[in-house]
Amino acid sequence: MATSHPHSPALIPPVPAVLAAIVSVQGGAAIAKWLFPVLGAPATAGLRIALSAVMLLAAFRPPLGRLTAAQWKVAIPFGMCLGLMNAVFYLSLARIPLGLAVTLEFVGPLGVAVFGSRRPLDLLWVMMAGAGIALIAPWSGSGVDGLGVLYALLAGLCWATYIVLGARLSRLVRGGAAVSAGMVVATLMIFPLALASGGLARLTPRLALAAGAVALLSSALPYALELSALRSMPTRTFSILMSLEPAVAALCGLAFLGERLGGAQWLAIALVIGASLGATVTSRQVERAAAVEV
């Protein structure tokens, strides 16, 4: 794989690249949801992770055999967290609309952004996000599946842990090798569960092709687009654009899955986006590792 010069112009301008990455991830999630009635969420998650690992290994050809014990000590929990995050997110998608699942999951990176802060302004962002979650919660009369909400919040917790571990791993291992190692560990963790679910027994060549599209759109393509954008874009700007992801997810859910949300649910999405934007704009530092989603 050829490597570009650090200062060579990107094939796609940074802002369109980030927006394309966001649409790619949510389009991949929509295709995954189409597979659920046949394969089930666990099998779909296992296929997505395994195929993503193959694509990343082929693209980066990381020297995993040369990683030290200290590097694996971080890479293993990072990969386990990555696998669990994807699995529970797909379980939430099986029960609640795409836009709501992504909105609830987004409390993870928001929590990392404001954790430990004692500034009154950051309390405002937490309250805004909390209000958004309350509007989606089952007790609000929204008719949203409670277990789906819990799965999405668990995915958000995993995302927060993934950010912290990813920041630590990125200081020990170069980007391509780091994410490849994590995806391999995630595959070893989740694929046996996918086999046990029985969904893979119903796999056909057409469904396998669709699963490959999910892996490409959800992991390989957006990762490449995000890295390209970050070469010439400040991380703060990148994080601001990424804050739009819940809205893009809701629009993809409407366009590809016919998932129509109520006014209160759109308000919840707006509150979480506002909280994420506020936390990003007013933060003292935006961590690079918090930006890239796998």
Tell the burial category of 235 from Cβ atoms under 10 Å away from its Cβ (0-12, 13-18, 19+). Answer: middle
Q: Where are the alpha helices (DSSP H) in 198-262?
A: 205-215, 221-230, 235-242, 245-257
Q: What is the pLDDT of residue 7?
A: 46
Q: What is the pLDDT of residue 240?
A: 87
CA–CA separation, 192 and 46 (whole Å): 8
Q: What is the pLDDT of residue 46?
A: 96
> Which residues in the chain land under pLDDT 50?
1-8, 286-292
Structure tokens at 31: 């295709």
Q: What is the pLDDT of residues 64-109, one digit of tens each?
A: 999 999 999 999 999 999 999 999 999 999 999 999 999 999 989 8
CA–CA separation, 203 and 232 (whole Å): 42
DSSP 163-184: HHHHHHHHTTS-HHHHHHHHHH
User: Considering the entire predicted model, what is its pTM?
Assistant: 0.89
CA–CA separation, 198 and 184 (whole Å): 22
Structure tokens at 256: 């590809």
Domain regions of the chain by residue span: 14-290
Closest CA to 48 of 21, 20, 29: 29
- Supply the angle between the helices 69-93 and 98-105 in degrees, to the nearest 10: 140
Instruction: Give yes or no for a contact between 176 and 167, defined as CB atoms under 8 angstroms apart.
Output: no
Q: What is the pLDDT of residue 285?
A: 52
Q: What is the pLDDT of residues 149-167, one digit of tens each?
A: 999 999 999 999 998 998 8
If DSSP codes are grouped into helix, strand and coil, which group holds residue 146?
A: helix
CA–CA separation, 243 and 97 (whole Å): 18
Q: What is the pLDDT of residue 292?
A: 43
